[in-house]
Chains A and B, each alone.
Chain A
Amino acid sequence: MAQPILQLIDLCKNFGGVVALDHLNIQVEKSSITSIIGPNGAGKTTIFNLITGIVNRSSGKVYYNNEDISGLKPHMIAEKQIARTFQNVQVFPQMTVLENVMVGRHVKSHLGFILSSLIPPFFRIEEKRIREDAHQCLSIAGLSHLAQKKAGSLPLGNQRQLEIARALAVEPKLLLLDEPASGLNSRETYNMGKLIQKIKEMDITIVLVEHDMELVMDISDKVNVVNFGRSLASGDPSEIQANADVIAAYLGT
């Protein structure tokens, strides 16, 4: 079996009385597209929030390249080259598209408060490099032509692309996509699938949470089904489609 890049072991999360995750186990193989599917409220977004440190786990462990990263702060997770997008799109609406992606270069650049204050941007080599790198990420996501637009003014489809471009700027080894096709029409969804496959070609491991079954079954190497915070089934797309439990829990609806 290929190397796991991410292992979730016995993850539990309670929000007050609500059990969001209940001894969940998931493995993600390196260089794969691994999907997590499940009905609304199954705990998919919570999984991402736990991996990226946005919420604290109740118990369990997260291993990344065999290193225990559970409980790290979100910015440290980014330094470990794990990036994500958000189900409720969170672009920075006041900034331009290019600036959004430039924020993504944060961990790959270094000037602090003092040097940044003292040196004007046009004398900073770093600034130029950040800009160039950001342009490159934009072109991968197919957004170059919108670089100077205010991010908040873009249609949802472009905002979702922008979140991916911004995440790519982190130079992730592991990319977590939370419903990247939600709210997109079928052509946009098709293009999103192409983009995700292109990112896989860049040797970035992808974890995909998505409700669009056609997309999931089309591009995933492996599918995990989650229900009520527990792993229900896991396998390649054809196995999952044939699994009676899954059909009952999810695909039937």
Chain B
Amino acid sequence: MKPYIIRRSLLDGFCFSVICSAFYFYLPEAVLNTEMNFKLQIILFLCELILGALLSSVLYRGRITTLGAKIFQPDFNPGVAEAKNFYRTFWGWQFLVTLLILFIIGIFKTRFSFFELLNIDGLQGAQRLFLGMASPNWQVLPQAISNIIETIFMAFIATTLATPVAFVLSFLAAKNVMKGRMAFIIYLFLRTILNLVRSIEALVWAIIFSVWVGIGPFAGMLALMMHSIASLTKQYSEIVESVNEGPIEGIQSCGANKIQTIWYAIVPQVILPFISFTVYRWDINVRMATIIGLVGGGGIGTMLIKYQGQAMWAEVGTIIFVIAVVVWLMDQASAVLREALK
């Protein structure tokens, strides 16, 4: 089966099962949430998915454009489809109804409540918090500064260690460098690993490393480094893939080997964007480092979570102030630097 048919069927099937689930609202909550019925729900969902997919192909035969066909089918009925306004099309309504039902389900699932938002007790709590933050306790300022310096250094070391690793890996993860059978296998392998590493959030890496090497800045730094290696490699290798082939052939025709070709034909073309991405990564890492501190990665985040736990809002206010200033400064500095590097 062609991939676009599978995609179309999946999307239309999903829309159909979403539309079906609108009818579940008539069922009492107790019926929906019991253990036994969970299996039933899965089976029901799969049935709806298949039914929807079948319906999709029936509609397709009847030359009706479903959302799946609109998005995935190559050249489906192009002339007719373009002529109509979207609210006069089948796929338009399919999209709107699906979105509406998903939105309603979402409101329930997130327990959205104006009552909680406007509850007096809650409001007073928030007021205390804001007042505390608005009158920071400057006594903890020296400690906050020394902690944010730790955070900045965490980000700095993570970026510095990640950069050379990502530099080397980026060429191995670039299609235009990895030509040939064996090279392509390495390329695919590396891409897969990198995507895996990148799909694990830095916050999760921090939890892993704080178990591994103990809570503190070292764990935070390692977490940032892992994430940075994967992200930088991806960004770098995309730049490598977009280089001008001319100089590469020029150097190759001189009898240069692979490393010489990379060094003389590719590196000069990519070095400025590489530096620019590295600066930006440091900037991102400083922000991430503060968050990572919350789960035991050391630095200002750890300090923040400590005072927050004791509801010491004036101290929290100081810390937030320090973070805001530093993040703003980093942001400005990195923007100026990257602009200059263009």
B is a partner of A: no
Interface residues of B (CB under 8 A from A): none
